[in-house]
Amino acid sequence: MKIHEYQAKALLASFGLPVPRGTAATTPSEARAAAEALGTNRYVVKAQIHAGGRGKAGGVKVVASLDAVEASAAALLGRSLVTAQTGPEGTVVRRLLVEEGLDIAREFYCGIVIDRAREAPVVMASTEGGVEIEKVAAEKPEAILRELVDPSLGLRPYQARRIAFALGLKEQQRAVEKLLLGLYRAFLQLDASLVEINPLILTADGRLILLDAKLTLDDNALDRHPELPALRDVGEESPLEVEASKYNLNYIKLDGRVGCMVNGAGLAMATMDLIKLAGSSPANFLDVGGGANVERITNAFRILTSDKNVEAVLINIFGGIVRCDRVADGVIEAMKLVQVKVPIVVRLEGTNAPEARQKLEASGLHFTVASTLAEAAARVVAALPAGRN
């Protein structure tokens, strides 16, 4: 679950981490009042969307008067901000963060993420702060420092000090140590999958401040944090993804022609790859998980076919925990409830797969039944109307 910068900073501040003074606002007048409360002579007005690259897109304004704060807020609110992470359609700005302006002496990058290959958190840092870290990783990978954290021990003080020395912050080594240990504590206790500070700044008076913060929470752990789901902003998400989440379905919007109903993320990736190999591309994928019953499949069909780009549907279910014949029953009943006007190819494999195929073929409904994934991909692509791939 992604959250806004102002929310991330509030959470990190609760762990004693230094963030700029600031307040969120949803109207120009609120932005002016927030700036006035800061009692300073320089302000930063920042668009709050779930995407990076806001500065380059004109979503961050540094101004020196209350009138300029109000004017900047009026210009940003309601505007569609297009960044490298939003896609060409952009994201509408509905919230702002109004902060105090700070004198920046140096900028750094630091972040914590899970290194899945090594099954441990890794703390990353770089002197290349304030720029896109993906670009640094691609062009100057040696500029990114990495400290792998033993999950049983946590981040050790000597590791934090080693990062401080490598960043050239010898005089601030104790402050760096305190900051990184606090950041790791927040990462662990919030069940985060990503904490990213870009930039972490050293001010002209020698303070370390989290000038920008990105925090992604593991939604599988939200039951341990009843206060965190309230931070979700569904306005930043695809309407179909929000609708799918109501039924515990995982939906991802893509830009192709084939709707994909699967169970399991790995099977979803394989399905999409084979559709590409067969000559088309997926319009989306919807993971029904282990409970592929009539209700879930009915809602899955409804959500899949709500996408106007879907011109055919591939159902690819592996019956491990769930029996294929029960999935077939669900598909048949769902088809009776939902008016599906596009070709449907079904491939069921696993427990009771032969019985499932017999039920589908005997249903009298317009399915194409495939026995292998490659065959299913080829058939669903062949069923597409002539046109773009």
User: Which residue bears the tokens 């870290």?
Assistant: 133
pLDDT of 389 higher than 60: no
- Domain limit, last residue, from 198, 217, 235: 235
Among the listed residues 309, 305, 295, 314, the one whose alpha carbon sits nearest the alpha carbon of residue 382 = 314
Give the span between the Cα atoms of 103 and 62, in whole angstroms: 12
- Domain limit, last residue, from 235, 270, 289: 235
Residue 87, CA distances (Å) to 21, 131, 378 in order: 31, 19, 29
Range of the domain at 109: 1-19+103-235
Q: What is the DSSP letter of 264?
A: S
Instruction: Judge whether 148 lies within some domain.
Output: yes
- Whether 74 and 156 map to the same domain: the answer is no
Residue 39, CA distances (Å) to 45, 100, 270 in order: 15, 9, 56
Looking at residue 308, its pLDDT comes to: 85
- Whether 175 and 311 map to the same domain: the answer is no
Numbers of helices and strands, H then E, in the chain: 12, 18
- Whether 215 and 353 map to the same domain: the answer is no
- Whether 12 and 137 map to the same domain: the answer is yes
Give the active site residues.
Answer: 109, 196
pLDDT tens digit sequence for 52-80 = 888 888 999 999 999 999 999 999 999 99
237: confidence class by pLDDT, cuts 50, 70, 90 = confident
- Domain limit, last residue, from 67, 101, 135: 101
Instruction: Judge whether 154 lies within some domain.
Output: yes
Instruction: Judge whether 389 lies within some domain.
Output: no
- Whether 323 and 373 map to the same domain: the answer is yes
- Whether 13 and 143 map to the same domain: the answer is yes
- Whether 261 and 352 map to the same domain: the answer is yes
Global confidence as pTM: 0.78
